[in-house]
Amino acid sequence: MAQNPTATASQAASPPDKGQSPGPATKTTAGAGRRNVDFSKPSLYQNREITWLRFNQRVLAMSRDNGTPLLERLKFIAIVSSNLDEFYMKRIGGLKQQDGAGYRELTVDGRSPREQIKMCREFITSLEIEIEESLGEILRLLPKYGVELCDYETLSDADKQTLRRYYLENIYPLITPQAVDPAHPFPFVSNLSLNLLVTLHHPDSEYSSLARVKVPVGAGTKRFIPIGDSRRFVRIEQIMAGNLDLLFPGMVIDHCEWFRVIRNASTERNEAAANDLLEMIVSELRERKFAPIVQLMVQKDMDPTRRGMLSAELGLNESQDVFETTGLIAKRDLFEISSLLIPRLRDAPHRPSDHFKLLDTRSIFHIIREHGDILLQHPYESFATSVLRFLEEASRDPKVRAIKMTLYRTGEASKIVDCLIEAARNGKQVAVAVELKARFDEATNIRWASHLEEAGVHVTYGVVGLKTHSKVVLVVRQDYNGIRRYVHIGTGNYHEGTAQLYCDLGLLTCNREIGNDITEFFNFLTTGYTPNRNYQKILPAPRIMKSLLINKIRREVKLHKAGEAGHIQLKCNALEDPDICKELYRASMAGVTVDLIIRDTCRIKVGIPGLSDNIRVVSIVGRFLEHSRIYYFRNGGGPNEEYYIGSADLMKRNLESRVEVLAPVDSEDLKQDLRMILNTYMNDRHGAWEMQSDCTYRSLREEGEKSSQEKFMEMAAKRYQAARKQNLRKLENLRKRNTQ
């Protein structure tokens, strides 16, 4: 028998049957004695930065899972290391800017920028120790399978000669040593670069000098160099250090030490004052290159004098901004090793199934007209044979008159962009709202915007002061009975690469009201004018989404007090907006059941007597990155239940300063699909972590249980196989009739 989705953590539950409703749930008793809560009290909220770091702690736990293949475990260490680099660039960089500017306003949890920086550094120091321990265990196990990360100094002379020859041919020509002396000031050190600080002297002199040598990783040069044709690897910086006689012939090498810097990525300007947004973004990218350094990482045994000199030259506070490590610097480069093609050390390849409704070879527009709405679940169902097919057919279909879409992130080689260019060349009206300020993808988006404009696509850069984060495509087609609008609304980017790694949802529809709304939405994007845009179905941000979500939460409270079992389920990446948090606390106090499936940042605290007794917070961590957003309100149950999917997280920036879209899912069949998805997440006993009253998370893993992600893979494959067999039976029956 299916389990209630609000089952406690201690209950072992299998996912309920498709479509099982969570209501009517048992009516929960409202909290007593907490009617006059001061919701401005800092102790009611978690710190945003720490909750995000705790998420990385959960990701790191995957690297210690003995049931996960070794190279996949190594991948999770690379992911966490990359995340921490980005955290320093974005979050610590921004906090340092606030602190330097004398910003005194406290966060909702009552902390100043300086206090947050201190908290984060302490947490990261502890996390780095966990990373080192986990990495050490993996590196001890890998040699059993022929993969080894070797220390250059321990190699045989023959191996050293092999690497020296490789170095001379492939690395040496790329290196530019830079002296540091009165005639040569300390050189510029680029962001995320790994460097050698070499101390050396002439044989006839007792005075030492310094040189900086940048390690040329990237643009085709690997960090880990194989010894011949083996799977034994040596770090490139060790090879360079072992062959410094080639760079500094005749000199005596006294010391060679490693260091790495991270620069601030928070360099955004006020775009309202910019005459040319494109030029402003290009200028921001130039500034980011020379932005202040927020972290210096050095090896543990670096000489204190040289460490102090390096800190001073880079303009850093040695006691606050310099970190030591005894292990590998820049662990994000471990992606190189984790991507080795050794099947027994990797997860079994995942091949997404075609959506069972899209196996038909007819025009995808005919299929959408026939089915009404189609719900897509990536990466379990193929992005290429659904979303990409939608755009490919639109670009070639002679009946398609126009294509409009938003573009937030896409790949270096994007078939999506190719479709838009082809559509423009085929004479269709194509309009694209490109978000130039998508962090770390600005250069890619600028390049694609230029290509699109050259092809005749009408390119806009969204609305001044707002990031366009929505994921929407509108296709206008001349059908047999007049103009019809076809729409895709998604939770993930139009990026073929991440569509294979991120868990996202999408809706294909030709619903007339949604089509009208999306038309108005694009008119807003291309003009910025907001008056008299009355949306019937979608919830756009920043205009109305937040207020309507708050109203829906309050409606659950009223219905619950009137005798209905109130139930709210929210799945998103982050819950940070203080106003939403307060409303959810109030709902819990009233007795409404609140289930939160929050991947990372969550300001809410559970288990506060009389306040959050009825709130459960779960985080799903697995092979794929959870990225979908689903908002459910029971609204009295039955046909009144409301489900929304879309691009918005419950963060202040998403709700108030980004262009977002949530779309309702009205089809009863698709509501059942979303119910199955939410129930499966809430009953996960493999990849789920549940927040505790002390704000830590406890794994809900039970031996032998499959994760929600594994179950979704199986469900998609079964739906595909069943539909395929049905289609084959139809073809066979048709063949028999034709031969009779």
CB 562 within 8 A of CB 677: no
Is 567 assigned a catalytic role? no
Is residue 431, in this structure, part of any structural domain at all? Answer: yes
The three-class DSSP label of residue 48 is helix
Residue that finishes a domain, picked among 495, 516, 537: 537
Q: Are residues 525 and 579 in the same domain?
A: no
- pLDDT at res. 351: 94
Residue 715 phi, psi dihedral angles, 5° rounding:
-60, -45
* 643 closest CA partner among 673, 683, 680, 684: 673
Q: Concatenated DSSP letters for 217-279?
A: -BTTB-SEEESTTSSEEEEHHHHHHHTHHHHSTTPEEEEEEEEEEEE-------GGG-S-HHH
pLDDT at 739 over 90: no
Q: Are residues 183 and 276 in the same domain?
A: yes
CA distance 666 to 377: 17
Q: Are residues 558 and 448 in the same domain?
A: no
Is residue 145, in this structure, part of any structural domain at all? Answer: no
For residue 518, the enclosing domain spans 356-537
Q: Are residues 319 and 433 in the same domain?
A: no
Structure confidence by residue, pLDDT tens digits, 118-135:
999 999 999 999 999 999
Average pLDDT over residues 282-291: 56
The two three-digit tokens of residue 573, written as one number: 């990446």
From 154-168, 255-269, 479-493, the region with the lowest mean pLDDT? 255-269
* 472 closest CA partner among 491, 499, 450: 491
Options 355, 378, 469, 495, the catalytic residue: 469
* 379 closest CA partner among 406, 350, 358: 350
Give first-to-last CA distance, the chain, whole Å.
Answer: 47
- pLDDT at res. 544: 93
Q: How are strands ordered across the β-sheet holding 322-325?
A: 178-180, 208-214, 194-201, 252-263, 293-299, 322-325
Q: Are residues 595 and 658 in the same domain?
A: yes
Q: Would strands 400-407 and 429-434 be described as parallel, antiparallel, or unpaired?
A: parallel
Residue 566 phi, psi dihedral angles, 5° rounding:
-70, 140
The two three-digit tokens of residue 158, written as one number: 């023959």
In what helix (H) or strand (E) does residue 453 lie, and over which residues does it extend?
A: helix 442-454
User: CB 238: neighbour CB atoms within 10 A?
Assistant: 18
User: What average pLDDT does the structure give for the chain?
Assistant: 90
* 471 closest CA partner among 436, 505, 517: 505
CB 459 within 8 A of CB 432: yes
pLDDT at 666 over 70: yes
- pLDDT at res. 319: 87
CA distance 174 to 215: 9
Average pLDDT over residues 99-123: 94
Average pLDDT over residues 598-617: 97
CA distance 204 to 207: 9
In what helix (H) or strand (E) does residue 625 lie, and over which residues does it extend?
A: strand 625-626
> In the 8-state DSSP scheme, what is residue 434?
E
Q: Are residues 676 and 579 in the same domain?
A: yes
User: What CATH number should be reported for the domain holding residue 467?
Assistant: 3.30.870.10
Is residue 490, in this structure, part of any structural domain at all? Answer: yes
Average pLDDT over residues 377-399: 98
Q: Are residues 335 and 431 in the same domain?
A: no
- Would the pTM count as exceeding 0.75? yes
Total domain count, the chain: 3
Query: 448 versus 281: which is more confidently predicted?
Result: 448
Structure confidence by residue, pLDDT tens digits, 131-185:
999 999 999 999 999 999 999 999 999 999 999 999 999 999 999 999 987 667 8
pLDDT at 440 over 60: no
Q: Are residues 403 and 308 in the same domain?
A: no
Q: How far is CA 719 from CA 106, 359, 374, 469, in A?
A: 51, 11, 14, 32
- pLDDT at res. 437: 61
Query: 26 versus 177: which is more confidently predicted?
Result: 177
- pLDDT at res. 284: 52
Q: Are residues 460 and 498 in the same domain?
A: yes
Is residue 231, in this structure, part of any structural domain at all? Answer: yes
- pLDDT at res. 728: 84
- pLDDT at res. 352: 97
Q: Are residues 394 and 498 in the same domain?
A: yes
Residue that finishes a domain, picked among 475, 505, 537: 537
Is residue 121, in this structure, part of any structural domain at all? Answer: no
CB 658 within 8 A of CB 469: yes
Structure confidence by residue, pLDDT tens digits, 327-361:
899 999 999 999 999 999 999 999 999 999 999 89
Residue that finishes a domain, picked among 484, 514, 537: 537
With a pLDDT cut of 70, the percent of the chain lying above it is: 89
The two three-digit tokens of residue 574, written as one number: 């982050």
The three-class DSSP label of residue 458 is strand
Q: Are residues 532 and 550 in the same domain?
A: no
Q: Where are the beta strands (DSSP E) in 59-215?
A: 148-150, 178-180, 194-201, 208-214
Cα atoms in the 13 Å half-sphere on the side-chain side of 644: 24
Is residue 267, in this structure, part of any structural domain at all? Answer: yes
CA distance 385 to 354: 6
Structure confidence by residue, pLDDT tens digits, 500-557:
999 999 999 999 999 999 999 999 988 876 666 789 999 999 989 999 999 999 999 9
Per-residue pLDDT band for 288 (boundaries 50, 70, 90) equals: low
For 357: left if phi > 0, alpha if psi spans -120 to 50, otherwise beta; the answer is: alpha
CA distance 376 to 716: 10
pLDDT at 216 over 50: yes
User: What CATH number should be reported for the domain holding residue 243?
Assistant: 3.30.1840.10
- pLDDT at res. 8: 34
Per DSSP, what are the bridge partners of residue 407?
434
Handedness of CA 664, 15, 73, 331 (dihedral sign): positive
pLDDT at 447 over 90: no
Is residue 558, in this structure, part of any structural domain at all? Answer: yes
Q: Are residues 533 and 617 in the same domain?
A: no
- pLDDT at res. 279: 58
Is residue 144, in this structure, part of any structural domain at all? Answer: no
